[in-house]
């Protein structure tokens, strides 16, 4: 007699090949309208599922897990970031948590470099002029930006993505510097030609471009606060493809509007999709809708990792991408 298939609830639409494979393997409930679930919807989903597949927009806290009942056994997160999940409480309640590490590294690093170029070369301004039909021909002093070759790049967070950004930056001729919770091994530093700064304050005060590539944790919340932002050079550019909460967005906005920073490229924001409207008005700010990992290949690979984690769990084994509290 065949074993009963796991009940799986997916909170958002996933790429079609991923959903098709899930339907073949599990008793899956998909979110065809692709509407963001409310707190109440998420709690009800956890009550009726063996496995929940949430994503970064689904905040799952202690109170929600306490109300979820006893059926849920695995939260197979669609994404690498887990700061929206109370992993500690989940494990205390016997619920395993898995994620999809490593998949978004190259795509996010590509977008980081793209944002650097977009800000420093004034690409959105040029695009706006062309699309509005206001271009009247080439002029020697029009849309002059700056080259990134030779500039000092400071990377805040030298994990997988930070290192991928460093490799790309070296190709563009940038000088790579970094601050990290732990210093890299000498051979990795040599490969990346990267200079380590123990003091974040000293690093940010000397950089031409600062790239945020660290996760959001209690210790990194507003790591780039008003005081630290003011240490940056007035023509420096800050790029964030990691988590919006790492930067004090109000302080950043004030400095940009006052001309105290050269520009910013942001793919993530402190309050999710609620973006400070004053940021939208600035010509030296490039805003993207959290699309750093948005490639067809990457999103399918993320789904494949989710499926492997669920299938391995269903077979009675430890999911390969299990998150444990000691990792946090």
Question: Going from the N-terminus, what domains does the chain have, and what CATH number goes with each?
Answer: 7-103+295-327 (3.40.50.720), 105-287 (3.40.50.720)
Contacts of residue 224, Cβ cutoff 8 Å, sequence gap at least 6: 156, 204, 210, 212, 238, 246, 247, 248, 252
pLDDT at 27 over 50: yes
pLDDT at 325: 66
Helix (H, G, I), strand (E, B) or coil at 2: coil
What average pLDDT does range 314-323 have in this prediction?
96
Quote the Cα angle for 322-289-253, to 5°: 110
Reading the block at residue 124, the tokens are: 């959105």
pLDDT at 327: 47
How far from 119 is each of 2, 38, 154, 204, 235, CA to CA, in Å? 57, 36, 16, 18, 12
Q: How do residues 196-255 score in pLDDT, each as one tens digit? A: 999 999 999 999 999 999 999 899 999 999 999 999 999 999 999 999 999 999 999 999
For residue 247, which phi and psi values (nearest 5 degrees)?
Answer: -110, 135
pLDDT at 328: 46
What average pLDDT does range 16-27 have in this prediction?
98
DSSP β-bridge partners for residue 194 = 176
Give me the percent of the chain exceeding a pLDDT of 70.
98
Q: What is the mean pLDDT of the chain?
A: 95
pLDDT band per the 50, 70, 90 thresholds, residue 268: very high
What average pLDDT does range 82-87 have in this prediction?
94
pLDDT band per the 50, 70, 90 thresholds, residue 324: confident
Alpha helices (H) along the chain: 16-25, 39-48, 62-66, 87-92, 105-120, 123-131, 160-171, 186-192, 200-204, 226-229, 249-257, 277-280, 296-314
pLDDT at 326: 55
Question: What is the DSSP code string of 189-256?
Answer: HHHHTEEE-S-HHHHHTT-SEEEE-----TTTTTSB-HHHHTTS-TT-EEEESS-GGGB-HHHHHHHH
Q: How do residues 32-80 score in pLDDT, each as one tens digit? A: 999 999 999 999 999 999 999 999 999 999 999 999 999 999 999 999 9
| Cβ–Cβ under 8 Å, residues 224 and 246 | yes
| Cβ–Cβ under 8 Å, residues 74 and 53 | no
- Tell me the C-alpha distance between 14 and 288, whole Å: 20
pLDDT band per the 50, 70, 90 thresholds, residue 4: confident
pLDDT at 259: 96
């Amino acid at each position: 007699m065949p074993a009963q298939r796991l009940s799986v609830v997916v909170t958002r639409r996933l790429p079609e090949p991923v959903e098709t494979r899930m339907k073949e393997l599990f008793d899956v409930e998909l979110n065809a309208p692709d509407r963001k679930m409310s707190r109440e919807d998420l709690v009800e989903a956890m009550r009726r599922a063996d496995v929940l597949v949430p994503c970064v927009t689904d905040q799952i806290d202690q109170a929600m897990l306490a109300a979820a009942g006893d059926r849920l056994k695995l939260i197979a997160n669609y994404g690498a970031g887990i700061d929206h999940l109370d992993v500690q409480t989940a494990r205390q309640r016997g619920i395993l948590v898995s994620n999809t590490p490593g998949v978004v590294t190259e795509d996010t690093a590509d977008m980081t470099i793209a944002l650097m170029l977009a800000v420093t070369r004034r690409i959105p301004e040029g695009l706006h002029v062309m699309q509005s039909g206001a271009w009247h021909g080439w002029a020697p002093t029009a849309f002059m930006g700056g080259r990134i070759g030779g500039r000092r790049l400071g990377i805040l967070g030298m994990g997988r993505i930070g290192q991928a950004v460093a490799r790309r930056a070296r190709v563009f001729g940038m000088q790579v510097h970094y601050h990290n919770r732990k210093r890299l091994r000498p051979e990795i530093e040599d490969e990346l030609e990267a200079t380590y700064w123990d003091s974040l304050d000293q690093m940010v005060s000397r950089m031409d471009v600062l790239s945020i590539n660290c996760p959001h944790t209690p210790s990194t919340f507003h790591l780039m606060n008003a005081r630290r932002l003011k240490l940056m050079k007035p023509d420096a550019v800050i790029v964030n493809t990691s988590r919006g909460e790492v930067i004090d967005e109000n302080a950043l906005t004030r400095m940009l509007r006052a001309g105290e920073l050269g520009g910013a490229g942001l793919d993530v924001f402190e309050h999710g999709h609620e973006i400070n409207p004053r940021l939208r008005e600035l010509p030296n700010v490039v805003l993207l809708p959290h699309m750093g990992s948005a490639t067809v290949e990457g999103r399918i690979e993320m789904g494949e990792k989710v499926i492997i984690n669920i299938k391995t769990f269903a077979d009675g084994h430890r999911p390969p991408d299990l998150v444990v509290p000691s990792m946090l």
